[in-house]
Structures are given as C-alpha cells and as structure tokens.
Amino acid sequence: MSPRGGSKQQPDSRRQAPPSAAAAVPSPPGRGRGRGRGESSVPAPSLVNAPSAPPPASTIGVPSGAAPFRAALPPPAVESLTSAVEKQLTMQPSAPSSSKAVRFKERPGFGLAGEKIKVRANHFQVQVAEQDLFHYDVSINPEITSKKVSRDVMTLLVQAHREKILGNRIPAYDGGKSLFTAGSLPFESKDFVIVLKDDDEPGSSSSSSPTRKKREREYRVTIRLASRTDIHHLSQFLRRRQLDCPYETIQALDVVLRATPSERFVVVGRSFFSPSLGKPGSLGSGTEYWRGYYQSLRPTQMGLSLNINVSARAFYEPIPVIDFIESHFRANPSRPLPDQDRIKLKRVLRGVKVEVTHGKNLRRYKITGVTKEQLRKLMFTLDDNRTKSSVVQYFHEKYNIVLKHTLLPALQAGSDIKPIFLPMELCQIVAGQRYTKRLNEEQVTNLLRASCQRPRDRENSIRQVVRQSNFSTDKFVSHFGIQVREDPALLDARVLPAPMLKYHDTGRESSVEPKMGQWNMIDKKMFNAGVVEHWTCLNFSGKINREFPSAFCHKLARMCSNKGMRFNSKPLLPITSAQSSQIESALVNLHKQSITRLANQGRLQLLIIILPDFEGSYEKIKRICETELGIVSQCCQPRHVCQMKPQYLENVALKINVKVGGSNTVLNDAIARIIPRVSDRPTLILGADVTHPQPGEDSSPSIAAVVASMDWPYVTRYRGVVSAQTHREEIIQDLYNTCEDPVKGKVHSGIIRELLRAFRLSTNQKPERIIFYRDGVSEGQFSQVLLYEMDAIRRACASLQEGYLPRVTFVVVQKRHHTRLFPVDHGSHDQTNKSGNIMPGTVVDTHICHPREFDFYLNSHAGMQGTSRPTHYHVLFDENNFTADGLQMFTNNLCYTYARCTRSVSIVPPVYYAHLAAFRARCYIEVATSDSGSASGGRAANCEVRLPSVKENVKDVMFFC
C-alpha cells in the first residue's frame, strides 16, 4: 500500500439564388487535418452552398473601370449582408435525403491539359452489400471517459448476450455513443448490467495472481434504436443520382472497418499503433516512436475508397521515472530538481500512468502532480487519521525499502483531498501511452527520419498493412457484407507543363523553362530589382573571425548587384560587432545612429544581422526590428557566413530583393496578359492561414495571417497582415470588424479592408476579382468557414463602396491529408524524378476525388526526400467560373513564383507566405512571454496576449520571407 495523505454576399441584384433554410448535417468522417488542428466531428451550425450551375457571365458582371472606392453603404445595408450571403450560398437538395444537404461548387468538368499518365494511390476500393444498417445509441452508467474501457464493456456484453438477446448479430461499436448492426436487433431499447474487472484504477492490481481479487465495477448499459441508415441512398449518391452525401452511412461503415484494429491496437484519432506493426525506436528525452497506420473511408468517384497510409507516433518510453528525468532533463537524480524543471516535469507527466511493484502485486496509478517538497521532507497522515509519518519512514517500516533519491520530489496520484505519494525511484512508466507534448528538435528529427520512406518502400509498407488487416476474414467486415480490394487504385493523371518564367532583359538569359521543378539563376537578372542605398551589418556571433562580417557583406553586395539590384557597396554605418547579451540595446543604438546620419534623407533600408551562436535570439531580433524600430532585416547563420558559398549568397539575395520591394521572377503569361480569369480584370490573390499553439500551450492565442498580391497583373509581390485571436479558433475573426466611436459613429476596419485599400494604392485599380486560397480548414469546418469568411469579405467590400461586389473564388488548400501518389513503374526514369517520386505538375481530378464537387490533387513540386505529398485543392465557391484546366494550370504556375528559391513549391505561394507571416507573428508573442518570465504553456487561460503591430514601412514589403 502506498502512503495516502490525510489532511454574404449580398447577392448582386442581378443574381438569383434559390431560397432555403440552413441545416446541420454530421461532419464527414475521417476528413480533416492532423498536426495540431484536430479532426472536427462537430456538425456545422449552418450550411453553405454555391449554386448548382454558375449564372451566365453577363449576369455576374462587376462594373468595369478603376473608379476609386466611393461612399460606404449605410450601416443597415452592410449588416443585412449576413443573411443575404447565407441565403445565396445555401440550397435545399432537390432529391429526398436522410438530412438536408450541403453542396459546394459543382465540378465544371475534368481537366485535359498536360501529358496523360497512370499513377497509383493509397486508396483501396470498397464494395458493400445493399442491406439495412441500424444505428443504436449507447449509454453507459456510470459514464466512462476511456474508449478502451467502453469497448471492454461492450465486448463482454456481446459475448454474454449475442445469441440469446442480440439476435446473433455482431455489432460494431465506436467506443463512444454509437453502435451499428447489419439488420435490426430484436428490441428497440434494452438495459444490460455488465461487471468489469478493473485493472487500471489507483490501488488495483493487474497481476494475474489468484491470491488477490481484482476490483470489479458494475455498469448499466442502455442500447436504444436511433435510426436506420440507407445503403441505397449512399449508392445513389456515389452514382451522382443524389445531391447530398449520407455521411451517417459512411460513418457506420467506417466504424465496422475500424472495429477489429480498435480492439488490437492503440487508437490515436483515425490511426492505429502497436509494436507488432514495426519495431519501436528511440526519439530521445524519454520517448520512443511506434509504427502504425491511418485508415479512413471516403466517398470518391470510383465509389467508396479506404485510404490507408503508414505513419509513426511519439509514445512515452516504458522506463523507470528516474531514467525519464535523467533523459528528459539531463538531470542528476542525486541532486535536488530545480523548481523550473519540477514544473516542467509536472506538466509532462500529468495524466501519465505509472506502475509500482513495492507491494505483493503490481499496481497502476495516474499521475496528477508533483510535490513541491522533497521526498525526505514529505509527511502524511496514516489511515487512522491521527498518526503522522514521513514517506521515507513509511516505506522503510512497511516494505523494508530504503529510498535513495530523497532530494527529488514525489509523484502524486489520487485527489488533492486524498493524495497518494509515490517515490519516483519505485515507479515505471506504463507502456503504450501517447506523448502529446511539444517535441524538441532532436525528437522531431528522429520522428521524421523514422517516418520518411521512399515511394517504393512506402507503397510496399501500405500493401503489407492491407494484407495483414485481412479484411476478407475479418468477422465484422464479413458480417456487414463489406469487401475491400487488396490492390491500390490505378488512376488517370496528367503532368502539367512548367510555366515559362521571365527575368530582366539585361541578363544573358531573359527567360527560362524549368525542368523537373527547378532552374537556376545563372546568367539571369531579377525581373524587378530593388534598390539598397542605405544598409549596414551587425554581428552578434563571437566565434567568427573579425574580418568575416566585412568580407561576407562585400560578397553579398556583389551578388545582389550581379543579379540586377542597385546595391551600394559601402554601408551607411561601419560594420560592427556586439555582445549577444546586448541585442536590444545594440539594435536601438544602431537605429538612432542611422536616423542621425540620414537626417531627412531617407531611412535605413536593410540591416544584415549575423545571429548569435545560440538558439532563441532570432525571434527577439525580429520582434524588435519589425514591431519597435521599423527596420527590415536579413538574418544569417554564422556557419553560412564563414563558408560564403555562392549558392547561399544567391538565396540570400533573392530574399533581400523582395524585402526591399523587388520581384525576382514573373510568369511570362502574366506579362502577356493571357492568364484566364486573372489577366483580363484587376484580380486580388489572397492567401490565408491560421496557426495554432503547439500541444501543451493551452492558453496561447491562435494567429491568423492573410497575404494579398499587390502588383497585378504580375502577382509576385504580397503584403501580409497578422492578427491574434481566440485559442484554437479556426475561423479568421478579424477579416472585417466594426466598432462604435463616440464621435465618428460606426467605424469599419479589418484585414480585408486594409488589403483592398493597399491594392488600390499599389495598382491604382480596385479588384474586380478575388481568388482566396484558404489553408488550415478541415472538411468538417468547410461550411462554417465559408459562410463566415465569405460574409466578412462581402461586408468589407460593401463598406468601402456602395454596390462593390467583386467576384470571389474560395479555394481550401489541404496539405495534412493521407493521400499519396506513386508511379506505376518505380524503376522508370520517364515517370519519376531522382528521388523516385512522381513528376512535378502531376494532377489528379478523377477516381479518388469527390463524386460531385470541384477538387483536385496537385503535386506541384519535385520531392527530394521521402514520398511527396500532393496538395488537395477544394473549391467551395466560384463566381469567376474557372474551368478545371484554368484553375489547375494557374495554381500550378503560381507554385513556380515562390520568392525564396528557384524551385517550384508544394503549396500555392500565397498560402506559403501566410504560413511564414503567421509563424513570424508567433515569434513576437513567444519572445514577449519569455521576456516577462512566463513559461510556455503555463499562462492562465484567461490571460490575453496582445500581438505587437508591425511598422508600416516593414508591412509594405515581404518582411516575412
């Protein structure tokens, strides 16, 4: 026994949208983001839809010309847009269905551009017998929070009552509130009493010793008929004869396919992990990785598809807690644990199960905390509620154990009222517990290495998973009449041609056609080279030679000049070095000197910074430069400064050029004005993303970032705006805002208004089209995000000018999915690049894509490591009437305009830039909280963290590159 303590769019008047009421439907199963964002299973509060067919072009037109924004709409007209947008974007399905349906943009046809090829995908076709499936609600009392325990209860129930009471059915249970059967049960509602032997609660024994009776718990289980799902409805939807998708039916089938692995493996979201699926490996700091696989059922053009992908996940290593402390904190257990490490240990072990063996039987406890007192000072009251004893004395007298590490605190289990104190040296971490905290750099590197597989190896691993799953003999799958093909889907795909890129005519080569997703800058000059007249360099590294900063800057200036920039060879202020402990004062002093030197003749245009030799300073430098001093900076790592490789200097030159307002390259089609739906009218390209705090930071705000093109018709320069919002809120809150001013009345503001005004100032045009690439949205949130953000865009436009309604195309960009594309012949040099991946430009809009909606997978980059992940683009709303080829070609071509390298990138650049801007804003917050002494993730939940404003001169350029 352990010691226990005692004490929208207002539709254009010329547009007609069918009226309907919005309704909620279940979120699609298994379709969402993974890392840090979560998979949404919450029904949408309102549904959003594009019209089934786009109106004729003449009826959606926007007034031509570039008239300035006129007087804004009166407030009531602006406010009325909310209901108008919802009315325009919702539609009642014309065919009967199990629920009211959400329909987004219909597919306008299939793409034809590019070279036709065949590829394989990790999708496996599923066939289902047409029979009735029944959905039952499950209620367990007392309530169980663990899905594993709930499954144990239901397994006992089925074993005991299957033949006599359950009509010999084999129910599939999801571990929560839902149970599905093929055919009805002999009752509509029935109560059962199940007794479960409890292994994992504090004080229990998991030993099989007959001398100790395991603790038993009694549960009352109620099974009640909820609904009957219609397989025929699903079949009709997959044949495009029904408008809405019966997600409840897909959910039932998904539960069936997951039933057996849920019993055999550790379940994490939609993935399964087990040492039997591959040998675990060390990640460092007391953690290890387990191999596993992801599995999800999806409706596609080829019918139902089972998407399977191999993966790896971090788990706690089943080691003694003392060893965990040594590994995680590099601490000596014979010495006291510093208070800051004790707080971190409490955070990292809270909720973790440990087992102790100092009694006759093995017992398991869930950790609730770590004591402030050292073990040697820890006292508690015995069960007689009178006698006090020290923990050290108790273990010596009762178990004849002499505790060694008495300078360490004790682990605490139980409750605060009745705590259980556990000496760390007697505790071992229980195997199979997922590590949910933020991984450090070493752990991330090791996890990436473990999960990185070449395409051939990954495809073979996925095929092996399917063979091991053996769906043909699975009792649940067979009982429900489901068949799963063992061969991955063979798809029609196309390889889109790379765009012609234009450079400046003064270079030896004024244009280039990329090969295999890459090109170089040899003999080329930047299309729109920037000017750097006033610059200097500040060195914070103490390890590099004193002459290196000057030599490096000289070579960098020459590289910039060679690429076409007007770069003054002499710095405004002498290149100097400063102590890494004096970052803020050194930057402030340099800023003052530059102001004095220039007087009224301009400002410092560029500050080159050689970073200190330790990590963590970059964030502080960027926050001071960009939010306090208004300095555009370019940071360089000391090791690169010492090497001074031409390739590195060239890459830095590319970044510097866009940071001072230049453009590196432009699409030739943009110059020729032949990009469909973009070149003919002023078009604003938006990229948006919301980044959320890392696991364990349960109070930090989420950061929204939106970038917008500022140089139509070229679409290469972008302006970024960032905003902090509620913790883990996915919808961007600050797209459009209003507030009441005592003098001015209603004041309009928000990100969209700011970017529209900036576009107008930059191009002397107002956008007549908007293409909005939106990242970070799981499919369960499509409806909410589209409705709210389309409404915000419409209201922002209307607040600038009465009747101003530019056409909008709303595209969701998804990178965190599990679809992978493989070459049919892994050994063919005509089908693969050097890494064995599919060719850059490969696009798929058939077979594995949505049966009705406008979506496609695009592999726009040349993968260098592992298996390339194509990006999934899903068009939710489109007033610009893009063709499949038009949007696919434009998106692929944009991926060649990323400013920081001479390669095509995997996601469309506006979204990439939004990522960079959001992470830059995260730097500002992390530095602020670090400077104030707050530990990451330790702030109070109601503490509001304000985001510093970026200075206007910095915001005018691509400072986030």
Query: Percentages helix, strand, coil for the chain, rounded to the nearest 5?
Result: 30, 25, 45
Burial class of 889 by CB neighbour count within 10 A (0 to 12, 13 to 18, 19+): buried
Residue 935, pLDDT > 60, answer no
User: Hey, how many other C-beta atoms are within 10 angstroms of the C-beta on 483?
Assistant: 13
User: Can you point out the beta strands (E) in 375-422?
Assistant: 379-381, 388-390, 409-414, 419-422
Least confidently predicted of 156-165, 670-679, 711-720, 936-945: 936-945
Q: State which fold the 321-430 domain adopts.
A: paz domain (2.170.260)
CA distance readout (Å), 940 to 233, 349, 699, 723, 958: 49, 19, 7, 20, 34
Whole-model pTM above 0.85?
yes
pLDDT for the residue numbered 34: 39
The phi, psi pair for 282, rounded to 5°, reads -75, 140
- Residue of 670, 653, 669, 705 whose CA lies nearest to 900: 653
Encoded tokens for 637? 């790592």
Burial class of 35 by CB neighbour count within 10 A (0 to 12, 13 to 18, 19+): exposed
Average pLDDT over residues 602-630: 94
Give the 3-state DSSP-derived string for 323-363, with helices as H, strands as E and coil as C.
HHHHHHHCCCCCCCCCHHHHHHHHHHHCCCEEEECCCCCCE
Reported as a single tens digit per residue, the pLDDT across 129-165 is 998 999 999 999 999 999 999 999 999 999 999 999 9
Band of pLDDT at residue 903, cut at 50, 70 and 90:
very high
Residues 6 or more apart in contact with residue 262 via CB below 8 angstroms: 147, 151, 175, 272
Band of pLDDT at residue 236, cut at 50, 70 and 90:
very high
Reported as a single tens digit per residue, the pLDDT across 706-739 is 999 999 999 999 999 999 999 999 999 999 999 9
- Residue of 455, 448, 365 whose CA lies nearest to 410: 365
Q: Classify the C-alpha dihedral 111-112-115-121 as positive or negative.
A: positive
Architecture of domain 529-647: 3-Layer(aba) Sandwich (3.40)
pLDDT for the residue numbered 44: 35
* Cis preceding-peptide flag for 142 (omega within 30 of 0): yes
Residue 56, pLDDT > 80, answer no
Give the 3-state DSSP-derived string for 222-260, with helices as H, strands as E and coil as C.
EEEEEEEECHHHHHHHHCCCCCCCCHHHHHHHHHHHHHH
CA atoms of 619 and 662, how far apart (whole Å):
25
Averaged confidence pLDDT in the chain:
88
Domain boundaries, the chain: 131-202+214-229, 321-430, 496-515+661-810+869-925+944-960, 529-647
Average pLDDT over residues 187-191: 97
Reported as a single tens digit per residue, the pLDDT across 782-825 is 999 999 999 999 999 999 999 999 999 999 999 999 999 999 99
The residue among 751 and 776 whose pLDDT is bigger is 751
Encoded tokens for 232? 């025929």
For residue 70, how far is the Cα from the chain centroid?
39
| Direct distance between the N- and C-terminal alpha carbons of the chain, in angstroms, rounded to an integer | 60
CATH of domain 496-515+661-810+869-925+944-960: 3.30.420.10
CA atoms of 132 and 934, how far apart (whole Å):
57
Give the 3-state DSSP-derived string for 836-875, with helices as H, strands as E and coil as C.
CCECCCEEECCCCCCCCEEEEEEECCCCCCCCCCCEEEEE
Encoded tokens for 48? 């959003």
Which amino acid belongs to residue 13?
A: S
Residues 6 or more apart in contact with residue 805 via CB below 8 angstroms: 9, 10, 12, 62, 794, 797, 798
For residue 815, how far is the Cα from the chain centroid?
8
The phi, psi pair for 893, rounded to 5°, reads -65, -40
Q: What is the largest CA-CA distance in the chain?
A: 93
